[in-house]
């Protein structure tokens, strides 16, 4: 637990930052991020190197350190403030990291690890940063909501359960409108691509729509469309052992866009934003989707299936059409664990980004930067849609089988459903989860994008 206060209580050790050339006690270990304790004074210092070089780039390691201390400390926040690092930045980064690391994420281990240590953080200027801290808390708690959904195993988190959980959470906020469409309603809308993926399932598909209208005078509306595959077996193009592991995370895009709206509903930006979650699993049964099958999407385009494992783009395409036709989106942003190829290109470090609009991309880039998330833009080019446009029986094939640039051809498939809207796509297959841990990646960026709108 972390608590911000105005003054040290003096009932715990106090921890302060010290920098190089500050007339330091000779016992201080002058190694960056190392803590020296002075037991008899109930005091400790953390050495941070050259003051002029201390920057926001150090805050990740620093805040991780401060969240894993071996005793209850009272941290003197004012001692960390430098020319490059403001009080509000350092305070919110410590809060964020602490809440991220101590989040209650799905876990049924019978031997739970011991309770976390308390952390007190004090600054005489607490009043100045209270609002900022509140906003940070709302955002990180939304990130953690996504992470908990991500980690929940697929024998619990099926499409019907997930839609219900999201609805329960976001309907707490009266300025968010939540609609959950069931299979009958999805059939009525002719969402043939989402339905095709759902054919192998014993659960109904769900389309969850969350709407926030913070700027009713504007016609601009940004709609986030999230891939919600609660488990991706691959379908008849079935995945083999190792590559099927972790496919509970294939609903991350949907969890993330819902969580972004969850925060937006509390932060009240002057913007119109919505989230569309296309939810089903991708399984096999006697009637599951088949290679060679042909389906008609909600917008009328026909798609020949040449790989049932390229299911994400199918459920997203219908989600995009819903966003455009039913919600009047002017900007459409898809968020999806879409391709293994993005892992090859960008590892687990960068989220891959695509956009038809330089303006929309630059807004995303800016938002990501201020929220300390890494995105890297990749190209959209017609060369990468040649293969998927060569079906002899339908408008499109769902998969480029050349084996080249798989993340780009997937994005080009989605672009076919963007109509004339500004379109961006975030491929989070590498970043949604790292080391089997859910990251709630891009929630912060999407929220910041809405906050930056004017
Ligand atoms: N859900 C996967 C993508 C994925 C792979 C996410 C690895 C996280 C880690 C997606 O549905 C998929 O199966 N993509 C195929 C596409 C192929 C059939 C063109 C892939 O990447 O192999
Ligand atoms: Mg797949
Ligand atoms: Zn998938």
Triad 4, 146, 75: Cα angle to 5°: 20
Residue 375: per-residue pLDDT? 98
Predicted confidence (pLDDT) at residue 52 exceeds the cutoff of 90: yes
Contacts (Cβ under 8 Å, ≥6 apart) of 382: 412
Question: How many A from CA of 19 to the centre of ligand 2?
Answer: 51
Q: Going by CA atoms, what residue is nearest to atom 5 of ligand 1?
A: 340
Residue 400 annotated as lining a ligand binding site: no
Tokens representing residue 103 in the block: 């989040």
Whole-number pLDDT of residue 10? 85
Taking the C-alpha atoms of residue 261 and residue 274, their distance in angstroms, rounded to an integer, is 7
Q: Are 227 and 208 in contact (CB under 8 A)?
A: no
What's the average model confidence in pLDDT over 77-97? Answer: 97
User: How does pLDDT run across 387-402, given as a tens digit for each residue?
Assistant: 999 999 999 999 999 9
Segment 400-409 mean pLDDT? 98
Give the closest residue (by CA) to ligand 1 atom 13: 309
pLDDT-based confidence at residue 431 (cuts at 50, 70, 90) = very high
Backbone phi and psi for residue 334, each to the nearest 5 degrees, phi listed first: -90, 145
Supply the pTM of this predicted model.
0.97
Residues 248-283: tens digit of each pLDDT: 999 999 999 999 999 999 999 999 999 999 999 999
Say yes or no: CB of residue 337 within 6 Å of ligand 1. yes
Ligand nearest to the CA of 347: 1
State pLDDT tens for residues 89-136: 999 999 999 999 999 999 999 987 777 789 999 999 999 999 999 999
Q: In sequence order, what are the beta bridge partners of 37?
A: 44
- Residues carrying CATH 3.40.220.10, the chain: 2-102
Instruction: Tell me the pLDDT band of 190, cut-offs 50, 70 and 90.
Output: very high
* Structure confidence by residue, pLDDT tens digits, 355-389: 999 999 999 999 999 999 999 999 999 999 999 99
pLDDT at 318 over 80: yes
Q: Is 309 annotated as a binding residue?
A: yes
Would you state the pLDDT for residue 113? 73
Residue 227 is assigned to a ligand binding site: yes
**In the predicted structure, residue 22 carries a pLDDT above the cut 90:** no
**Residue 332 C-alpha to ligand 1 middle, in angstroms?**
22
Geometric angle at alpha carbon 416, from 412 and 420, rounded to 5° = 115
Q: What is the mean pLDDT of the chain?
A: 97
The mean pLDDT value for 341-366 works out to: 98
Q: Does domain 2-102 have CATH number 3.40.190.120?
A: no
Q: Which residues touch 175 (CB under 8 Å, ≥6 apart)?
A: 212, 214, 265, 268
* β-sheet bridge partners, residue 122: 5, 76
Span 153-451 CATH architecture: 3-Layer(aba) Sandwich (3.40)
Q: What is the mean pLDDT of residues 12-31?
A: 93
Mean pLDDT of 227-245: 98
Residue 23: predicted pLDDT: 87
pLDDT for 437 equals 97
Closest CA to ligand 1's atom 22: 340
Does residue 194 carry a pLDDT above 80? Answer: yes
Cα-Cα-Cα-Cα dihedral of 449, 450, 451, 454, to 10°? 100
Q: How many whole angstroms from 335 Cα to the centroid of ligand 1? A: 14
**Structure confidence at residue 263 (pLDDT):** 98
Residues of the chain above pLDDT 90, percent? 97
Residue span(s) of the chain under CATH 3.40.630.10 come to: 153-451
Residues 219 and 327: beta-carbon distance below 8 Å:
no
- Residues identified as active-site: 239, 313
pLDDT value at residue 96: 98
Q: How far is the CA of 400 from the centre of ligand 2 (A)?
A: 13
419 labelled as ligand-binding? no
Which residue owns the Cα nearest ligand 1 atom 8?
A: 429
Ligand 1 in contact with 433 (CB < 6 A)?
A: no
The dihedral through the CA atoms of 409, 411, 417, 419 has a sign that is negative
Closest atom of ligand 1 to 311 CA is 11
């Amino acid at each position: 637990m972390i608590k911000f206060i105005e003054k040290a209580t003096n009932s715990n050790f106090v921890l302060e930052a010290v920098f190089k050339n500050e007339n330091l006690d000779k016992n201080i270990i002058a190694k960056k991020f190392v803590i020296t304790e002075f037991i008899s004074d109930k005091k400790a210092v953390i050495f941070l190197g050259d003051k002029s070089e201390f920057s926001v780039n150090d805050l990740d390691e620093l805040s991780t350190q401060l969240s894993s201390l071996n005793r209850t400390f009272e941290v003197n926040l004012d001692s960390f403030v430098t020319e490059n690092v403001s009080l509000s930045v350092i305070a919110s980064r410590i809060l964020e990291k602490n809440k991220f690391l101590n989040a209650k994420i799905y876990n049924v281990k019978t031997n739970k690890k011991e309770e976390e240590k308390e952390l007190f953080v004090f600054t005489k200027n607490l009043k100045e940063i209270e609002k900022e801290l509140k906003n940070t808390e709302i955002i990180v708690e939304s990130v953690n909501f996504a992470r908990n959904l991500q980690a929940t195993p697929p024998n619990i988190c099926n499409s019907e359960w997930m839609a219900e959980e999201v609805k329960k959470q976001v309907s707490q906020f009266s300025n968010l409108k939540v609609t959950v469409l069931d299979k009958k309603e999805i059939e009525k809308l002719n969402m043939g691509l989402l339905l095709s993926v759902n054919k192998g399932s014993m659960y109904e598909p769900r389309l969850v729509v969350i709407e926030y209208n913070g700027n009713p005078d504007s016609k601009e509306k940004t709609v986030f469309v999230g891939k919600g595959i609660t488990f991706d077996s691959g379908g008849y193009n079935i995945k083999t052992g190792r590559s099927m592991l972790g496919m509970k995370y294939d609903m991350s895009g949907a969890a993330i866009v819902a969580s972004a709206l969850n925060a937006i509903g509390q932060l009240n930006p002057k913007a119109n934003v919505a989230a569309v979650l296309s939810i089903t699993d991708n399984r096999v049964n006697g009637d599951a989707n088949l290679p060679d099958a042909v389906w008609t999407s909600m917008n009328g385009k026909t798609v020949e299936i040449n790989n049932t494992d390229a299911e994400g783009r199918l459920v997203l395409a219908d989600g995009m059409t819903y966003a455009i036709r039913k919600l009047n989106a002017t900007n459409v942003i898809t968020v999806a664990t879409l391709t293994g190829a993005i892992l090859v290109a960008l590892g687990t470090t960068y989220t891959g980004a695509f956009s038809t609009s330089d303006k929309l991309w630059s807004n995303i880039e800016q938002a990501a930067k201020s929220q300390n998330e890494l995105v890297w833009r990749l190209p959209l080019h017609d060369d990468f849609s040649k293969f998927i446009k060569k079906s002899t029986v339908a408008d499109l094939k769902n998969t480029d089988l050349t084996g080249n640039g798989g993340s780009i051809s997937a994005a080009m498939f989605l672009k076919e459903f963007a109509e004339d809207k500004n379109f961006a796509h975030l491929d989070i297959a590498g970043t949604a989860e790292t080391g089997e841990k859910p990251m709630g990646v891009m929630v912060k960026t999407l929220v910041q994008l809405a906050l930056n709108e004017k």
